[in-house]
């Protein structure tokens, strides 16, 4: 130990002697100039932060500014154009709140989750209780209903930024329901949050027992307050609002409860209703995407994300000629079920105007459609007024102009 310390001191002295040399080296760009080091401070040591040169930020979504004058948070979109890999950093994960709620500031020691209704043993769980139970850790995306390709979108953040993917850790909801003993005839659950308006959604019991998670962890630490601290329900593949934040209550019931959030989802047509809760196979190219600029012709790795509420992504194809021909993209890493999956394709741009598209296929064999295909399926004319029923998973086209600028082809 002592000798190690001595060696380190010697090394430091030696370094000081070499400082003059270091300054010379930095002039050649090999190491930063002496004044360009980040001095340690207690805050940075305790909880680090990204480089000041990294500027990707979330932005308000849907025409309502967050925060508003009262500090309410509405919808906030993820900068997918800057994304790498499949995990969205917790700081950049999209946010949506029920009717513009304040973010509850919950003391986890006081928080309880109640499981009751049509069960043999109503139970309340503390955070400590939940952390005693067998846990699972899974990658899952969460996507908001408002996430759809649009003529108004200036960037991928506008059109696709209301989806994010995190590593979620918690207890399977089925574990808690079995602990309480679900009674025969219980066909739905109502999941409720602890925020001001106590947002609640009806979820099919089959889904609750299949793969829903009661999460206390997100990306290796506690779930963030904007994501439901200290507890969030994850309903993998289902639209965002079902993923109840600040989870305080699960009630097993024998019918659809028609909560206010359920009412918000009501559709007149059965097709709209059927396509309204689970996300279909969906993909988008994140680079190059609208608002970005290619410096010139030559080699680029096209990169993007694919996901599906129906399971894992099996295949992603990319077209670099406006959809005339398609090439299989490479799936980077392992495609997890109901999770963002990174894909890429090598591309040599010849400098002429073209369009880039991606389409994916999930484990069920469902293929991401174009708007035209959906219109044809429903025998509706394809005009500006055509709205894709349910959750819109249609193909996004980016137009690359000959000057290298990239644009939303719908605009």
Partner 1 sequence: MGAFTMRMLRLLSLVLLLGGFALAQSPPYGVGSAPSEEELRAWDISISPTGKELPPGRGTPKEGEQLYVQKGCAGCHGAKGAGGLAPKLVKAEGKPDAHPWDLGRVLPFRAPYATTVWDFINRAMPLGREGTLTADEVYSLTAFLLNINGVIPEDAVMDRETLPKIKMPNRESWAPLPDWKPGMDRLEGYPY
> What residues numbered 108-127 form the site for partner 1, per CB under 8 A?
114-117, 120-125
Number of residues that bind partner 1 (CB under 8 A): 72
Torsion of CA 389, 393, 395, 399, to 10 degrees: 100
Contact between 253 and partner 1 per CB under 8 A: yes
Torsion of CA 386, 390, 392, 393, to 10 degrees: -130
| Position among 59, 62, 146, 272 found at the interface with partner 1 (CB under 8 A) | 272
| Position among 92, 173, 180, 357 found at the interface with partner 1 (CB under 8 A) | 180
Site for partner 1 in 302-361 (CB under 8 A): 309-311
| Position among 226, 336, 368, 397 found at the interface with partner 1 (CB under 8 A) | 368
Contact between 367 and partner 1 per CB under 8 A: yes
Q: How far is the CB of 122 from partner 1 (least distance, A)?
A: 5
| Position among 251, 314, 315, 340 found at the interface with partner 1 (CB under 8 A) | 251
Of the ranges 137-145, 179-187, 317-325, 349-357, which one interacts with partner 1 (CB under 8 A)?
179-187
Site for partner 1 in 61-100 (CB under 8 A): 99
Site for partner 1 in 390-409 (CB under 8 A): 390, 393
| Position among 181, 291, 322, 351 found at the interface with partner 1 (CB under 8 A) | 181
**Percentages of the chain per state (helix, strand, coil), in multiples of 5:** 20, 30, 50
Distance (Å, whole) CA 365 – CA 281 = 9
Contact between 291 and partner 1 per CB under 8 A: no
DSSP E strands, 281-380: 282-287, 298-307, 313-319, 327-328, 330-332, 341-349, 354-362
Residues 6+ apart with CB under 8 A from 266: 273
| Position among 18, 274, 372, 382 found at the interface with partner 1 (CB under 8 A) | 274
21: tokens are 């040399």
Q: How far is the CB of 198 from partner 1 (least distance, A)?
A: 5
| Position among 56, 106, 127, 364 found at the interface with partner 1 (CB under 8 A) | 364
Torsion of CA 175, 180, 186, 192, to 10 degrees: -80
SS3 at position 282 = strand
DSSP E strands, 111-263: 113-117, 123-125, 136-143, 163-172, 188-193, 200-204, 213-218, 221-222, 232-234, 247-253
Contact between 17 and partner 1 per CB under 8 A: no
């Amino acid at each position: 130990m002592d000798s190690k310390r001595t060696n380190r001191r010697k090394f430091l002295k030696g370094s000081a002697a070499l400082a003059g040399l270091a300054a010379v080296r930095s002039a050649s760009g090999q190491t930063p100039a002496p004044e360009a080091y980040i001095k340690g401070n207690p805050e940075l040591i305790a909880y680090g932060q990204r480089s000041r040169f990294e500027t990707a930020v979330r932005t308000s979504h849907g025409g309502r500014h967050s925060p508003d004058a009262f500090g309410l948070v509405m919808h906030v979109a993820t900068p997918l154009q800057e994304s790498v890999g499949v995990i969205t950093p917790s700081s950049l994960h999209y946010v949506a709140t029920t009717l513009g709620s304040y973010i509850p500031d919950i003391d986890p020691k006081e928080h309880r989750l109640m499981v009751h209704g049509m069960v043999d043993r109503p139970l309340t769980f503390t955070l400590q209780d939940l952390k005693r139970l067998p846990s699972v850790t899974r990658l899952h995306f969460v996507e908001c209903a408002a996430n759809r390709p649009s003529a108004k979108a200036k960037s991928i953040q506008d059109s696709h930024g209301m989806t994010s993917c995190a590593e979620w850790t918690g207890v399977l909801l089925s574990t808690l329901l079995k602990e309480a003993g679900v009674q025969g005839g219980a066909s739905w659950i109502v999941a409720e949050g602890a925020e001001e308006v106590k947002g609640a959604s009806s979820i099919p019991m089959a889904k609750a027992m299949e793969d829903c998670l009661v999460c206390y962890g997100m990306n290796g630490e506690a779930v963030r307050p904007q994501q439901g601290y200290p507890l969030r329900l994850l309903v993998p593949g289902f639209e965002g609002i079902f993923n109840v934040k600040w989870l305080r209550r699960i009630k097993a019931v024998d019918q659809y409860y028609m909560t206010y959030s359920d009412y918000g989802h009501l559709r007149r047509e059965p097709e709209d209703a059927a396509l309204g809760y689970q996300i279909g196979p969906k993909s988008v190219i994140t680079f190059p995407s609208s608002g970005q600029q290619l410096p010139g012709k030559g080699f680029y790795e096209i990169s993007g994300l694919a996901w599906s509420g129906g399971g894992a992504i099996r295949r992603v194809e990319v077209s670099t000629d406006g959809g005339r021909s398609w090439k299989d993209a490479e799936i980077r890493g392992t495609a997890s079920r109901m999770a963002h999956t990174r894909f890429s394709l090598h591309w040599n741009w010849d400098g002429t105007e073209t369009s880039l598209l991606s389409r994916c296929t999930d484990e069920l064999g469902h293929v991401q459609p174009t708007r035209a295909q959906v219109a044809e399926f429903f025998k509706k004319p394809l005009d500006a007024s055509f709205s894709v029923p349910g959750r819109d998973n249609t193909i996004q086209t980016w137009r690359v102009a000959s000057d290298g600028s990239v644009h939303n082809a719908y605009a």
